[in-house]
Amino acid sequence: MCSGRVEPQFVLQAFKKGADGVLIAGCSLGECYYGEGNLKALARFHLLKKMLEQFGIERQRLQLVWVSASDVNILVDRINEMTSSLKNLEPLNWCAKTS
């Protein structure tokens, strides 16, 4: 699936269902198989960051990484970094806040 198809409601749904963080991974800029899907993802990412801040959700709970199929180590490193940073935060429990 192209990162450009990650709709904002998918991210919000993940948080509402209990995710403490969301990492969107996409093709490196300029290398999108679908042309400009990753540019669309980048624009949505920035919008989502602002939206999450308005909901009181820390910005580091949503992250974006550009990788290619050969960049497995980069992806693993970013997942580990995000996991570590989320461990320093309280559980989100956003579903309880929005009910």
Instruction: Give the model confidence (pLDDT) of 45-92 as tens digits.
Output: 999 999 999 988 998 999 999 998 788 899 999 999 999 999 999 888
Instruction: State what percent of residues in the chain have pLDDT above 70.
Output: 95
pTM reported for the whole predicted model: 0.86
pLDDT at 68: 85
Contact 21, 87 (CB under 8 A): no
- The parent domain of residue 21 ranges over 3-98
Taking residues 28-37, report their average pLDDT: 86
Burial of residue 66 (CB within 10 Å: 0-12, 13-18, 19+) is buried
Please count the structural domains in the chain.
Answer: 1
* Euclidean distance between the first and the last CA atom of the chain, given in angstroms as a whole number: 31
